[in-house]
Structure 1
Amino acid sequence: MVQATSRRGFLRTGIAASAAAFSLSSLGSSAFAQAATKPKFKISLAEWSLHRTIRGGKLDNLQFAETAKNEFGIEGIEYVNQFFKDKAKDAAYLAELNKRAEDNGVKQLLIMIDGEGRLGDPDDKKRTQAVENHYKWVEAAKELGCHSVRVNAGSSGEYEEQQKLASDGLRRLSEFAKPHGLNVIVENHGGLSSNGKWLAGTIEMVGLDNCGTLPDFGNFYINRGTGEKYDNYLGTKELMPYAKAVSAKAHKFDDQGNEANLDYARLMEIVLATGYDGWVGIEWEGGTPDEYEGIRLTKKLLERFQ
Structure 2
Amino acid sequence: MKLGLSSYSFRPMLVDGQLTVDGMFDWLRENGAEHLEIATFSFAKRGTEANYDLASEEETLRQLEAASARTNIPISGFCMAANFLGSDSERRAQVENVKRYVDLCRRFGAGFLRHDVVPWHLRPSTEEFEREFAVIADASREVAEYGAAHGVVTSVEDHGFFMNSSERVLRLIHAVNHPNFRFTLDVGNFLCVDEDPHVATRRSLPFASFVHLKDFYVRRTEPGPGWLKTAGGQFIRGSVFGFGDLDTKSLIESVVASGYDGFVSLEYEGNEPTLYGCEVGLNNIRRMLDEVRG
User: Which category describes the TM-score, using the shorter chain as reference length?
Assistant: 0.7 to 0.9
2:169 corresponds, among 181, 185, 199, to 199
Q: Distance in 2 between matches of 1:118 and 1:87?
A: 16
1:61 corresponds, among 21, 24, 29, to 21
Q: TM-score, normalised by structure 2?
A: 0.79
1:144 corresponds, among 100, 108, 116, to 108
1:233 aligns with 2:198: yes
- 1:20-59 alignment, distance < 5 Å: 41-59=1-19
- 1:100-179 alignment, distance < 5 Å: 100-114=67-81, 117-119=82-84, 121-154=85-118, 157-179=127-149
Report the Cα offset of residue 75 of structure 1: 2.2
Question: Counterpart amino acid of 2:64?
Answer: L
Question: What are the ranges of 5 or more consecutive residues in structure 2 without an aligned counterpart?
Answer: 45-51, 216-237
Q: Distance in 2 between matches of 1:215 and 1:87?
A: 23
Q: Distance in 2 between matches of 1:272 and 1:258?
A: 17
Query: What's the CA shift string for 1:45-102, capped at 9, x where partnerless?
Result: 10010110011111233543333112x2212001121126445156675444223212
For residue 262 of structure 2, what is the aligned residue in structure 1?
Answer: 278
Report the Cα offset of residue 163 of structure 1: 3.1
For the aligned residues, what is the CA RMSD?
2.2
Question: Counterpart amino acid of 2:28?
Answer: A
- Further displaced range: 154-163 or 235-244: 154-163
1:252 aligns with 2:255: no
SS at match of 1:208: coil
Question: Counterpart amino acid of 1:150?
Answer: R
Question: What are the ranges of 5 or more consecutive residues in structure 1 without an aligned counterpart?
Answer: 1-40, 223-227
SS at match of 1:174: helix
More helix, by proportion: 1
Q: Distance in 2 between matches of 1:204 and 1:113?
A: 22
Q: Distance in 1 between matches of 2:59 and 2:21?
A: 14
Query: What's the CA shift string for 1:2-42, capped at 9, x where partnerless?
Result: xxxxxxxxxxxxxxxxxxxxxxxxxxxxxxxxxxxxxxx22
For residue 219 of structure 1, what is the aligned residue in structure 2?
Answer: 189
Q: TM-score, normalised by structure 1?
A: 0.76
Higher radius of gyration, 1 or 2: 1
Question: Counterpart amino acid of 2:15?
Answer: R
For residue 13 of structure 1, what is the aligned residue in structure 2?
Answer: none
Q: Distance in 1 between matches of 2:7 and 2:282?
A: 14
Report the Cα offset of residue 221 of structure 1: 4.2
1:294 aligns with 2:264: no
For residue 98 of structure 1, what is the aligned residue in structure 2?
Answer: 65
SS at match of 2:114: strand
Report the Cα offset of residue 145 of structure 1: 0.7
Structure 1 pair 199/294, CA: closer, same or farther in 2 (3 Å)? same
1:81 aligns with 2:40: yes
Structure 1 pair 245/96, CA: closer, same or farther in 2 (3 Å)? same
Q: Distance in 2 between matches of 1:194 and 1:231?
A: 12
Query: What's the CA shift string for 1:159-187, capped at 9, x where partnerless?
Result: 44343222111111111212211011111
% of aligned pairs identical? 24
Structure 1 pair 123/230, CA: closer, same or farther in 2 (3 Å)? farther
Paired residues of 1:163 and 1:201 also in contact (CA < 8 A): no
Query: What's the CA shift string for 1:165-222, capped at 9, x where partnerless?
Result: 2211111111121221101111111123221111011011111111111111221245
SS at match of 1:220: helix
SS at match of 1:244: strand
Paired residues of 2:26 and 2:71 also in contact (CA < 8 A): yes
Structure 1 pair 87/258, CA: closer, same or farther in 2 (3 Å)? closer
Structure 1 pair 86/127, CA: closer, same or farther in 2 (3 Å)? closer
